[in-house]
Homo-oligomer: A and B are copies of this chain.
């Protein structure tokens, strides 16, 4: 299947969820050796990023850092009260483009793919698409 989606259950208000193995499993199932993998997050208070996967403190620190500089207590207009979450979503971005080589995500040694929850806990999804290309 070259087109599907990933379901993610987040369990905190703001945190980063490692989805690397879920994405790699879909790449393996697609059986495409060389190509481009696209991930798209359809939510407006969540994002996608790539960062260190080895030390879990890094993903915690990224959230802490964001909370330090994105104005959490600013009198924003949006009535739902989650404008800081929308701002963080745009800082991370809604999509990722990944290179596939020999049916594997071409990530760096320390890299992991993170779903960034900024207004959870919620059940979220990410769209997955893979397109073959010539070597």
Name A residues whose Cβ lies closer than 8 Å to a Cβ of B.
2-3, 34, 36, 38, 40-44, 49-52, 55, 57-58, 60-62, 64-66, 68-71, 74, 76-80, 83-84, 86-87, 89-99, 101, 106-111, 127, 129, 131, 133-135
Contacts and interface: CB of A to CB of B under 8 A. Distances in A.
15 contacts: A3-B135, A42-B106, A42-B108, A44-B108, A49-B93, A57-B78, A61-B83, A61-B86, A62-B90, A64-B74, A65-B76, A65-B84, A90-B92, A99-B127, A131-B133
Given A57-B77, A78-B61, A66 B87 contact: yes
Given A108-B44, A135-B3, A51 B99 contact: no
